[in-house]
Amino acid sequence: MVTGAAGFIGSHLVENLVARGVTTVAVDRRARGSDALADENLAPARGDPRCVLVSADLAQDGLDDAVDGCDVVFHLAARPGVRQSWGDEFDDYIRSNVVGTRRLLDACVRRGVRRVVFASSSSVYGPIARPSRESDPTCPMSPYGVSKLAAEQLCLAYARRPDSALSVVALRYFTVFGPRQRPDMAIARLLFAAYTGFPIEIFGDGSQRRDFTYVTDIVDATIAAADIDVLAAVVNVGGGTSASMNEVIALVGQCTSRRVPTTSVAARPGDVPVTAADLSQAQQLLGYQPAVGLAEGIARQTSWLVGLPHHRLLAFTP
Ligand code: UPG
């Protein structure tokens, strides 16, 4: 099962699993026809007999039937957005990220699921002076980070329950990019700015650094986490190098051969100055090595975007 199957990362994961011949239950709360972006993301998998689409809200719907027979649950469903989480929808962050996770875990225990792979986030770390290790103290800087840390810890607590057959791998994803990236995220917005001429607001002076991770690397690490021999583990998944926003702006300019119009606004609360992943544990446990660098990944995201027919482009507009 993949939860959040109609999302940016979830939809890539579903496609990859189905292509490997894995029968996949694809769960998302956005029912067909209710959300243009979700419909677009799931379009390639829809219609494949190995993909069973289920429309369910983890925080309120019965989940046992959907979970029944699933060996592994990849739990990616969440309310995303670091900066947006200071707004007035905190209830939905808790409901989606914490309550939904708990209800899913209960269903997994009842139905004897072997492994939950949880999509955690680098947002559980605070400001850092060196690449973050999984053993570092957590220090989320946003309500979103708090909700992801709570969900991650909940998963691990379920794995440690003596009466559960469940084991958990929580993957701390670092800023993921690539085709279908959420339109509110930086690289999607930079490409939009380059092609439309509408400036992107840069939060702060552009010196903030992110360990950008290409989506196929994330999917490979996520699938590898299904079968490793652990009871409860936390693993960073990053792109391997940190780049500043100013460097990313330059790369998008090179890739598109266009000027990227920007305006500068105040830094946003919740954004840390630097994220960087120590990947030793990912290498050891998952055999993980990022394969697609930032420049190559931006080139691929650009080709995908320019290849979209006009009527499909609208769904990905910020
Ligand atoms: N940024 C801007 N202007 C924009 C959008 C973003 O300056 O219009 C900056 C932002 O301040 C940040 C950087 O660009 O410093 C990257 O932003 P973005 O691509 O949105 O990613 P993150 O804020 O790092 O958050 C992503 C996911 C989140 C996940 C986290 C994991 O949105 O769900 O938990 O990466 O590290």
Nearest one of 40, 34, 41, 23 to 57, comparing CA atoms? 34
Determine the Cα–Cα distance for residues 88 and 84; give it in Å rounded to an integer.
Answer: 9
Determine the Cα–Cα distance for residues 97 and 165; give it in Å rounded to an integer.
Answer: 23
Determine the Cα–Cα distance for residues 212 and 275; give it in Å rounded to an integer.
Answer: 9
Amino acid at position 12, single letter: H
Burial of 311 (0-12, 13-18, 19+ CB in 10 A): exposed
Burial of 91 (0-12, 13-18, 19+ CB in 10 A): exposed
93 lines ligand 1 (CB under 6 A): no
200 lines ligand 1 (CB under 6 A): yes
For ligand 1, the distance from its centroid to the CA atom of residue 58, given in whole angstroms, is 25
What residue segments make up the domains of the chain, in order of their start?
A: 2-181+214-240+275-292
The pLDDT tens digits for 227-265 are: 999 999 999 999 999 999 999 999 999 999 999 999 999
For ligand 1, the distance from its centroid to the CA atom of residue 35, given in whole angstroms, is 22
Structure confidence at residue 318 as a pLDDT band (50, 70, 90): confident
Percentage of the chain beyond pLDDT 70 is: 100
267 CA: nearest ligand 1 atom: 11
Nearest CA to ligand 1 atom 32: 81
245 lines ligand 1 (CB under 6 A): yes
Nearest CA to ligand 1 atom 11: 203
ipTM of the complex: 0.98
CATH number given to 2-181+214-240+275-292: 3.40.50.720
Mean pLDDT of the region 271-276 = 96
CA 66 to chain centre: 22
236 lines ligand 1 (CB under 6 A): no
The pLDDT tens digits for 40-86 are: 999 999 989 999 999 999 999 999 999 999 999 999 999 999 999 99
The pLDDT tens digits for 122-143 are: 999 999 999 999 999 999 999 9
201 lines ligand 1 (CB under 6 A): yes
What pLDDT is stored for residue 311 in this prediction?
84
Tokens describing residue 25: 């239950």
Nearest CA to ligand 1 atom 7: 202
